[in-house]
Amino acid sequence: MQEPIKILFLCTGNSCRSQMAEGLARYFKKDKVMAYSAGTHPKGIDPLAVQVMHEIGIDISKQESKHLQTLQSIKFDYIITLCDSAHQACPMIPGKTIHVGFADPPRLAEHAQSLEEKLVHYRTVRDEIRVFIQGLPENLPILLERKKQ
């Protein structure tokens, strides 16, 4: 059996999208992927992200929001930026960097009139990230090739 690849999911705040990606990868791809997440400016885990992940049976409440620098001793096979800001601010770190942007659930939910309306946005992004994660690691070479074009 091949050793799992190390993937860092990077966002600005490491509060929502990157946390969901880490949790989904650990749940669905634990034999193929060692998942980590970090932020360029971490600000704690978003409780609504925890809630929508719990709805699908994945507990991310024990994950920590951490700064990219705390993981600098790990040699990642891939760094996947999930937000435009992190993609632009991503320092040159060893590994193959791929950008796969997802909308920001808190920003989408900004004008929601109710908690349920907010959760709709979080669920939508969670499900988009899940589709992406389910294609790992097989889709990574394709994404790298697209990046070169």
Catalytic residue positions, numbered: 11, 83, 90
d(CA 48, CA 119): 7
Burial of 115 (0-12, 13-18, 19+ CB in 10 A): exposed
* Cα 123 versus chain centre, distance: 14
CB within 8 Å of 15: residues ≥ 6 apart: 39, 42, 43, 44, 45, 46, 49, 65, 106
Task: Determine the residue type at 33.
Answer: V
